[in-house]
Amino acid sequence: MQKVAMSQITSSASAAKLAERQRFWSLRWKLLTGFTLVFSTVFAVVYWWFYNFSTEKAIARLKQDLESTAIGTAHDIDAEELLALYKTGERNAEGFSDDPRYLHQLEWFETAHRISPNVYAYSFILGKPSENRRIGKPATTGDELEAIYLVDSLWRFLPERALPFLEPDKPSPYSLRAFQEGETVNRDLYTDQWGSWISAYTPIRDKNGKIVAVLGADIEADHVFEVQQQLRDRLLLSFLATYGTLFSLVYLLSGILSRPLKELSAAAERIGEGDYSQDLTALSKSEVQDEISTLARVFQLMVDKVRQREESLKQQVASLKIEIDQVKRQKQVREIVETDFFQDLVVKARRLRNRPMEE
């Protein structure tokens, strides 16, 4: 029995030392850490997808508005006046023209800009370099079409980025498509010497429906970037609010789940110290049964059995102790009886008892 007891004590001491060496990490923080890792990953993926989706939708909406503005602006341009300006108009020292026809065209562009404040319209013709009227050297050679800029609304708003009157340039494939195919063409975000833009090109027709020029409409990239930044800010704010709410819910839920386990752990420690008067009824008799209530019920049953077994062992130990004491006493008596001294005393006692009879 002593060896068994010593073995149990040694095992308990080893378990205690092992527990001290191991780092404790509560279930609550494990749940929170797991939630943080999983939801952060999901959050990043969903945020990135939703941001790209929203950005594409926003830019598509900008392109649609840009296209509608370009078509509406081109429809009300006086094409005959624009051609006459091209043929006889003169550029002033600032790079545009004081011609009343130029100012009339520019006034219409300003009206369109007030309707769509982010759109800047301009007009140009396309023709062969040998047939075009321009200021400066040709921008193309041979039969390759050349663009000659006419009226640009940026003269009223951003003159440093405006296209000078009668300035030649090599047309983009998008403006060529609009001129040659007679359809409105959108152009994705790009950068040129005047800045970064998204653009739309649509044909300008005369009274007979003939394509005589092209209207370009630009939205400055800064506005596109501003829209993207607004989307990022709003999405980030929404996702952070959702993230914080879910984190708080998981924190509360993890506390609710870990509280019964803490109570069971505390009860186990007290039982280990010999206190078996633990009442786990509140955990095992919950209205909705789950794994924790089952664990509490099994734990209570285990405590009862351990208490009964310990009481039985105590009784057995007490009975065994009595038997051991009796054996010890018998052994001690036997050892005393078998000694020469005791035998000598017995002989002397007999002599003393027999002496009166002899006399």
User: Do 154 and 68 lie in a common domain?
Assistant: yes
Where are the extended beta strands (E) located within the chain? 119-127, 146-152, 168-169, 185-192, 195-205, 211-220
The per-residue pLDDT for 7 is: 52
* Backbone dihedral region for residue 95 (phi beyond 0: left; psi -120 to 50: alpha; all else: beta): left
103 part of a folded domain: yes
Does a structural domain hold residue 306?
yes
In order of 49, 66, 221, the CA distances from 73 in angstroms are 36, 10, 21
Q: Of 165, 179, 207, which Cα lies nearest the Cα of 79?
A: 207
* pLDDT (0 to 100) of residue 11: 53
Question: Which residue type does 204 have?
Answer: I
Ordered mean pLDDT values, 10 residues apiece, the chain (359 residues):
47 51 67 79 81 80 90 95 96 93 95 91 95 94 94 90 93 95 91 83 95 93 74 79 81 75 74 70 64 71 76 78 76 73 71 62
User: Given 184, 211, 229, which residue is the final one in a domain?
Assistant: 229
Report the C-alpha gap between 279 and 221 in whole angstroms: 71
90 with 217, same domain: the answer is yes
Q: What is the CATH number of the domain that holds 147?
A: 3.30.450.20
pTM of the model: 0.58
The predicted pLDDT at position 334 comes to 74
* The pLDDT value given to residue 355: 64
Q: Give CA–CA dist 147/56, Å, rounded.
A: 31
- At 61 the pLDDT is 83
Whether the CB-CB separation of 87 and 186 falls below 8 Å is answered with no
Same domain, 301 and 211: no
Domain count, the chain: 2
Given 229, 249, 269, which residue is the final one in a domain? 229
In what order do the strands lie in the sheet containing 119-127? 168-169, 146-152, 119-127, 211-220, 195-205, 185-192
Q: To the nearest 10°, the Cα dihedral for 338, 341, 343, 348?
A: -160
Q: What is the domain range of residue 307?
A: 294-353
What's the CA gap between 200 and 121, in Å, rounded? Answer: 10
Please return the burial class of 112, using the count of CB atoms within 10 Å of its CB with bins 0-12, 13-18 and 19+: buried
